[in-house]
């Protein structure tokens, strides 16, 4: 190390105990490009003397080779570790660094200033207690300053230090400093900050970083380090009601059954009452088990195993809570959503929502508005693009236990996952449950799907025909229905064009509208299956995700995908409706196969090619494949021609 405490050599155990007893502050630096975030943190690391000797040597070499300060040390290089960052002189990824002083331990996150890396900034801010907002004294409050301040407020940061940097380049002007402070504080009144502290600094020269600077004799507030060492940050997780998501049910033998997880908030002791929010069952704590022995008390942040005094049903993903302060338990809620993927958000599409140890299917049922993070204005919109933020209604496949994010960050956050790629596409903060959803329940009916199917002597199911426009879907589906009808089967054909004359006449052909189109059709097909019918669905249905959703909302064996794999060349040569011609001429936008993608089915039950075989022959083949013994679900192996 460049500098070591004398206590290390004298009494290493005392040194380690001292370090352990220090409290930890997590903070984030953010602001616009070139405001000096990386330089500031590099300076803090340098001046705290917690840098290894080899890092010092490497820093001196790199400063001369790729630095921006001539022969002087470029402190930003301690943070900008990526090749692209050093070449461009910018921060791209989130860089985390640990350092400590005699009073406190710190973890700092250096986040990107560029707008296209907003998602990275949100990631870094999600665990921070304090935000340092840097402002270039020459430029003042910029759009990105407002953006990052809003995001810091959104993820729950309540204390902000505004570091007005590069004061050396404005001759340490008190007037400039005061003007920027007034402008920022006026903007911050719209946000949920508890306190805003302004400090004039020069990260490069070290003014007001560790000690007060003689260049700013007119400033009488704390230095940046003094603020970080003394700012009081209440750990809301310690005072919040008890919450522990169950990550694992531990059954090593017949005599032990424990529920393992990390305490998200509150405290727990043997004898305390607990409730499983999903079922409402209550018990009391028998033991708090850890690798180091039983505890008399566990607090937020500790990984523990709880044993209970009663045999109640608890599974992975359940939330154990204080029975006197229960969280919400609902299948719909309103949330702020940060979109983090290049592919846009499509309301109606089925995603996976992961909250704690629970993963459930979810849909954005309504995008209420988008937030212009530069002006804080609410804007109308139907979808979200990369780095955009919106407020939306979310519907879940099953009820979830949660708290509003402002009350409990640990149990009020979630991520959205793409069902096909498993990529994280969004991060959300729950605002409140849609209480009206709790008034809606499934009504028990005496006549069910099985009864309706038996009276028709058939297996209710869906035959889902998919393929390009002009592939022959409707023609083949029509012939299949005629053959089924001749065999005495009760059917209904949902055709793409026909449905758009009524049920879906309000929808266009954007990706978002296509998703909603298929969602409505899938739900309609499900109702017809409940009626005991064999439903033939003939839609382009270009996206695998929506076809997968249609399959999943039905029972096992009720969905039979028929891929009409006629080539684009054949479809375009047919062009019965003249649509391809218009699309090629630019007169028809978002046309599948031309300027909108078609995602080929990966595992269809049947694949046929209407460009090679006649529609009549293919209809016969499909009927033979699906009607063995009268049960569709007995034919798992699809045929292909």
State mean pLDDT over 331-345.
Answer: 92
* pLDDT above 70 coverage of the chain, percent: 84
Judge whether 152 and 122 are in contact, CB under 8 Å.
no
In sequence order, the 6+-apart residues with CB closer than 8 A to the CB of 542 are 514, 592, 596, 597, 598, 599
Q: Can you identify the CATH homologous superfamily of domain 332-437?
A: Translation factors (2.40.30.10)
Please determine, for residue 195, whether its predicted confidence score (pLDDT) is greater than 80.
yes
DSSP state of 604: -
pLDDT, tens digit (0-9, with 9 covering 90-100), for 21-50 = 678 899 998 887 777 777 887 777 776 665
Please determine, for residue 334, whether its predicted confidence score (pLDDT) is greater than 90.
yes
Band of pLDDT at residue 171, cut at 50, 70 and 90: very high
Least reliable range by pLDDT among 99-108, 246-255, 401-410: 99-108
In sequence order, the 6+-apart residues with CB closer than 8 A to the CB of 280 are none
Q: Where are the alpha helices (DSSP H) in 405-503?
A: 449-456, 473-486, 496-499
Please determine, for residue 5, whether its predicted confidence score (pLDDT) is greater than 70.
no
| Averaged confidence pLDDT in the chain | 84
Q: Which of 198, 140, 208, 134 is nearest to 165 (CA)?
A: 134
Which range scores top for mean pLDDT: 325-339, 422-436, 443-457?
325-339
Question: What does pTM read for this prediction?
Answer: 0.76
In sequence order, what are the beta bridge partners of 534?
461, 491
Rg (CA), the chain: 31
Please determine, for residue 54, whether its predicted confidence score (pLDDT) is greater than 70.
no
The CATH number of 6-230, from 1.10.600.10, 3.40.1280.10, 3.40.50.300, 1.10.3720.10, is 3.40.50.300
d(CA 468, CA 278): 44
CATH number, span 449-634: 3.40.50.300
Q: Which of 128, 121, 58 is nearest to 86 (CA)?
A: 58
3-state DSSP call for residue 35? coil
pLDDT for 57: 56
pLDDT, tens digit (0-9, with 9 covering 90-100), for 204-221 = 888 999 889 999 999 999
Band of pLDDT at residue 547, cut at 50, 70 and 90: very high
d(CA 170, CA 467): 65
Q: Where are the domains of the chain?
A: 6-230, 237-321, 332-437, 449-634
d(CA 171, CA 114): 27
Q: Which of 383, 240, 251 is nearest to 315 (CA)?
A: 251
pLDDT for 629: 44
Please determine, for residue 440, whether its predicted confidence score (pLDDT) is greater than 70.
no
3-state DSSP call for residue 315? coil
Considering only the top CATH level, what class is 237-321?
mainly beta
pLDDT for 107: 87
Pairing of strands 130-136, 159-165: parallel
pLDDT for 508: 85
Choice among 63, 149, 474, 541 that is catalytic: 541
State mean pLDDT over 517-525.
Answer: 93
What tokens does 478 get?
Answer: 């029509």
Q: Which of 138, 180, 131 is nearest to 154 (CA)?
A: 131
d(CA 357, CA 248): 9
Please determine, for residue 636, whether its predicted confidence score (pLDDT) is greater than 50.
no
d(CA 300, CA 599): 46
* pLDDT above 90 coverage of the chain, percent: 50
Question: How far from each other are the two terminal CA atoms of the chain, in whole angstroms?
Answer: 70
In sequence order, what are the beta bridge partners of 133?
30, 162
d(CA 417, CA 489): 40
- H, E, C per residue of 117-169: HHHHHHHHHCCCCEEEEEEECCCCCCHHHHHHHHHHHHCCCCEEEEEEECHHH
pLDDT for 90: 37
Select the more confidently predicted residue: 354 or 583: 354
pLDDT for 638: 39
Q: Note if 173 is an active site residue.
A: no
Please determine, for residue 479, whether its predicted confidence score (pLDDT) is greater than 70.
yes
What tokens does 278 get?
Answer: 């999903």
Band of pLDDT at residue 1, cut at 50, 70 and 90: very low
d(CA 516, CA 382): 12
Would you list the DSSP string of 181-194?
HHHHHHHHTTS--S
In sequence order, the 6+-apart residues with CB closer than 8 A to the CB of 221 are 197, 198, 199
Band of pLDDT at residue 118, cut at 50, 70 and 90: low
Band of pLDDT at residue 89, cut at 50, 70 and 90: very low
State mean pLDDT over 55-84.
Answer: 54
Please determine, for residue 7, whether its predicted confidence score (pLDDT) is greater than 70.
no
Q: Which of 158, 166, 172 is nearest to 135 (CA)?
A: 166
3-state DSSP call for residue 593? coil
Q: Which of 173, 219, 175, 169 is nearest to 199 (CA)?
A: 219
Please determine, for residue 76, whether its predicted confidence score (pLDDT) is greater than 80.
no
Which range scores top for mean pLDDT: 3-7, 301-305, 578-582?
301-305
Q: Which of 108, 152, 193 is nearest to 389 (CA)?
A: 152
d(CA 239, CA 588): 59
Question: Would you say the CATH fold of 332-437 matches that of 6-230?
Answer: no
What tokens does 584 get?
Answer: 């090629």
């Amino acid at each position: 190390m460049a500098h070591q405490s004398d206590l290390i050599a004298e009494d290493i155990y005392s040194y380690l105990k001292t370090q352990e007893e220090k409290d930890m502050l997590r903070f984030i630096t953010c602001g616009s490009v070139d405001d000096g975030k990386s330089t500031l943190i590099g300076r803090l690391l340098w001046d705290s003397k917690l840098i290894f000797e080899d890092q010092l040597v490497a820093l001196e070499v790199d400063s001369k080779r790729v630095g921006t300060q001539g022969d002087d040390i470029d402190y930003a290089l301690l943070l900008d570790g990526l090749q692209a960052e050093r070449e461009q002189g910018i921060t791209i990824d989130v860089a985390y660094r640990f350092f400590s002083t005699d009073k406190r331990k710190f973890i700092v996150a250096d986040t990107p200033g560029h707008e296209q890396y907003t998602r990275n900034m949100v990631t870094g801010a999600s665990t921070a207690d304090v935000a340092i907002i840097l402002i270039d004294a020459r430029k003042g409050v910029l759009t990105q300053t407002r953006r990052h301040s809003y995001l810091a407020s959104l993820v729950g940061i309540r204390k902000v230090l505004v570091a007005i940097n590069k004061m050396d380049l404005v001759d340490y002007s008190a007037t400039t400093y005061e003007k920027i402070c007034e402008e920022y504080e006026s903007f911050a009144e719209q946000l949920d900050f508890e306190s805003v502290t302004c400090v004039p600094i020069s990260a490069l020269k070290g003014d007001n970083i560790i000690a007060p600077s003689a260049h700013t004799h007119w400033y009488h507030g704390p230095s940046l380090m003094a603020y970080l060492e003394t700012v009081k940050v209440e750990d809301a997780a310690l005072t919040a009601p008890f919450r522990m998501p169950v990550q694992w049910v531990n059954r090593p033998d017949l005599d032990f059954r424990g529920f393992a997880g990390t305490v998200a908030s509150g405290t727990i002791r043997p004898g305390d009452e607990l409730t499983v929010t999903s079922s409402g069952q209550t018990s009391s704590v028998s033991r708090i088990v850890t690798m180091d022995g039983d505890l008399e008390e566990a607090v937020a942040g500790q990984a523990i195993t709880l044993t209970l005094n009663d045999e109640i049903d608890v599974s992975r993903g359940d939330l154990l809570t204080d029975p006197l302060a229960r969280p919400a338990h609902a299948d719909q809620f309103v949330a702020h959503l940060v979109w983090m993927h290049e592919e846009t958000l499509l309301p109606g599409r089925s995603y996976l929502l992961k909250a704690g140890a629970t993963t459930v299917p979810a849909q954005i049922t309504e995008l209420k508005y988008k937030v212009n993070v530069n002006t804080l204005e609410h804007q109308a919109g139907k979808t979200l693009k990369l780095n955009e933020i919106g407020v939306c209604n979310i519907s879940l496949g099953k009820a979830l236990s949660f708290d509003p994010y402002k009350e409990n960050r640990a149990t009020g956050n979630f991520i959205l996952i793409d069902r096909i790629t498993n990529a994280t596409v969004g991060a959300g903060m729950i605002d409140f449950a849609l209480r009206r959803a709790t008034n809606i329940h499934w009504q028990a009916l005496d006549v069910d799907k099985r009864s309706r199917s038996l009276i028709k002597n058939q297996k209710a199911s869906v035959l889902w025909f998919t393929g390009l426009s002009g592939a022959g879907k409707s023609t083949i589906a029509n012939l299949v229905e005629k053959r089924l009808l001749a065999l005495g089967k009760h059917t209904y054909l949902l055709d793409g064009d026909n449905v758009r004359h009524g049920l879906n006449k309000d929808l266009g052909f954007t990706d978002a509208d296509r998703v909603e189109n298929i969602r409505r059709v899938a739900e309609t097909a499900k109702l017809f299956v409940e009626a005991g019918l064999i439903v033939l669905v003939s839609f382009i249905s270009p996206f695998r995700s929506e076809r997968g959703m249609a399959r999943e909302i039905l029972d096992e064996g009720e969905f039979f995908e028929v891929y009409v794999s006629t080539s684009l060349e054949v479809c375009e040569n047919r062009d019965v409706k003249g649509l391809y011609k218009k699309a090629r001429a630019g007169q028809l936008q978002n046309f599948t196969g031309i300027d909108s993608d078609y995602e080929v089915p990966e595992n269809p039950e049947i694949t046929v090619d209407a460009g090679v075989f006649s529609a009549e022959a293919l209809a016969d083949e499909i009927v033979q494949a699906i009607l063995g013994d009268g049960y569709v679900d007995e034919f798992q192996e699809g045929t292909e021609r």
